[in-house]
Amino acid sequence: IGRGASGEVRRADYMGKKVAVKTWRDLGSEEGKDLLKEIGMMSHAFRHKNVVDFYGIYEHDGLPWLVMELMPGGSLEQYYEAKKKSRRDGRWRPETRRAVSWVEDILSALAYLHAQKPPVIHRDIKPANMLLTEDGRTVKIGDFGVSRRCPHSLRNGAVGTYRYMAPEIFRGEGQYTAAVDVYSFSLVMWYIF
């Protein structure tokens, strides 16, 4: 599905289902450490219709492969870019009904994650991590590599994507709560509309 300098995501078959499997060649890199953290977070077996399903971990050639639900619709970011490119004027927005449905999906997932004991803070809510089903009707939150349990004490500087980052993370303030996801969600909602 995709390959970068240090990792890749592939399509695979798992018990009769099409799945995505993700790994990093260098587990000592920051991205590799994030994959291990994502495996740890996803192993809590979140079960929600708007959170990408986690199926397990597969070890191959000494590397862990995170096995998860395949989201064939790609990310909201990819979807928007493709729609814009298909237009002569480069502009596109979804129908209001569809946009509201996507917003409701994201809010439902965040409410579920924030209701966990202790709450889960995603910390990287952005269009690239909002994944679509094949028909493009449903959004699911993915990529839990920088997620943490709440409250979280910031020790290593800012995490996430600057454009969608809450001010308290950007400024490196001591502790923050799930409110950082709400801030990021508001920017994603602006992006959607």
The structural domain count of the chain equals: 2
- pTM value is 0.86
Q: Which residue has the tokens 């209701």?
A: 115
Q: What is the CATH number of the domain that holds 19?
A: 3.30.200.20
Residues 122 and 137 in one domain: yes
Residues 156 and 186 in one domain: yes
Residues 119 and 182 in one domain: yes
Q: What percent of the chain clears pLDDT 70, i.e. is strictly above it?
A: 82
- pLDDT at position 38 over 80: no
Residues 135 and 166 in one domain: yes
d(CA 146, CA 129): 12
Higher pLDDT, 134 or 66: 134
Numbered residues of the known binding site for ATP: 22
Numbered residues of the known binding site: 22
Q: Which residue has the tokens 């959607």?
A: 192
Residues 59 and 18 in one domain: yes
The string of pLDDT tens digits covering residues 119-140 is 889 989 999 999 999 999 999 9
The string of pLDDT tens digits covering residues 77-100 is 999 999 999 999 989 999 999 999
- Residues with catalytic roles: 124
53: closest CA among 35, 37, 34, 66?
66
